[in-house]
Amino acid sequence: MIRRSFLTLLLATLTPVAGPRHARGEDMNADWLIAPHHGIGRLTFGLSADEVAAFAPVYGEQGSLITYAEKPAAIEEMIALNRSSLSDETIEILRQSARDLENRASQNLTKGRVPVLLEYQDNRLDGVAVEAGHTEAHFAGQRVFSLDAREVLALFECANGAPGRYNSTEAAFDNIAVSLFSFSITSPSGKVYPMPRTNPNFQERSVTVRLAPYRPAHELDQFVEFSFK
């Protein structure tokens, strides 16, 4: 259930055919406002895929809805074929991963060359991801993809009210349920660095906003806590 805050009421006033609205200055388009626990712009959590379709003029046409209902059966088949080489712990992790996906679905919205990725739980939108090509995406009055990586990491850490969790090229801010990808690098020894612009992966930056933080139990020990403040 979407909480009816001032932000929610503001987004509700946007219509699919309206021209760009602006927030916090003339160059900030409200259609690309990153709003933790709510979504991005008009793509607010709780919408069905049919309701999302109304925003095609803004975010693009919907691709096929990819579902994972068959995953548990596929995992059980794999376990049966490889039972002798799998530990009980690994089998439980595989089964839990399949259960987590069973009621999930994903979908792309495509307008131009860069898609917006959507995630659904029980047929309701609960995750939105935008990539570096979405140059209008903004948070706290800043265009996220125009900033250096360190600035972005510090910006979201401030909103999170606590240091982020880091692994490989992922940064997770659980209090606001936001994950950043390719803004940071975590070394095998656990040292965390901002992603330099010269690194090819810098072009792969993305921001994922979720209704709830993504915290699979079997992955938590792979992350390290770090502060950029």
- Collect all residues with Cβ–Cβ distance below 8 Å to 20 and sequence separation of at least 6: 29, 30, 31
What is the structure's pLDDT at 137?
98
Average of per-residue pLDDT across 73-87: 82
Average of per-residue pLDDT across 172-195: 97
Q: For 114-155, how does the pLDDT look when each residue is reduced to its tens digit (9 = 90+)?
A: 999 999 999 999 999 999 999 999 999 999 999 999 999 999
What angle do helix axes 88-102 and 71-82 make, rounded to 10 degrees?
160
What is the distance, to the nearest Å, from the Cα of residue 197 to the centroid of all Cα atoms in its chain? 21
Task: Please say whether the beta carbons of 165 and 222 come within 8 A.
Answer: no
Judged against a pLDDT cut of 90, whether residue 31 lies above it is answered with yes
Question: Facing residues of 104 across strands?
Answer: 121
Q: How many Cα atoms sit within 13 Å of 91 on the Cβ side?
A: 13
| Domain boundaries along the sequence of the chain | 6-60+111-214, 63-110
What is the structure's pLDDT at 84?
85
Q: For 121-132, how does the pLDDT look when each residue is reduced to its tens digit (9 = 90+)?
A: 999 999 999 999
What is the distance, to the nearest Å, from the Cα of residue 142 to the centroid of all Cα atoms in its chain? 18
Q: What is the dihedral sign for C-alpha 194, 172, 192, 161?
A: positive
Give pTM, 2 decimals: 0.79
State in Å, rounded, how far the first CA of the chain is from the last one: 34
DSSP per residue, the chain: -----HHHHHHHT--TTS---BSSSTT-BGGGBEETTTEETTEETT--HHHHHTTHHHH-EE-PPEE-TTHHHHHHHHHHHHGGGS-HHHHHHHHHHHHHHHTEEEEEEESSSSPEEEEEETTEEEEEEEETT-TT-EETTEEGGGS-HHHHHHHHHHHHTSPEEEETTEEEEGGGTEEEESSEEE-TTS-EEEPPTTSGGGGG-EEEEESS----TTTGGG-EEE---
The dihedrals phi and psi of 120, each to the nearest 5 degrees, come to: -125, 145
Task: Please say whether the beta carbons of 226 and 166 come within 8 A.
Answer: yes
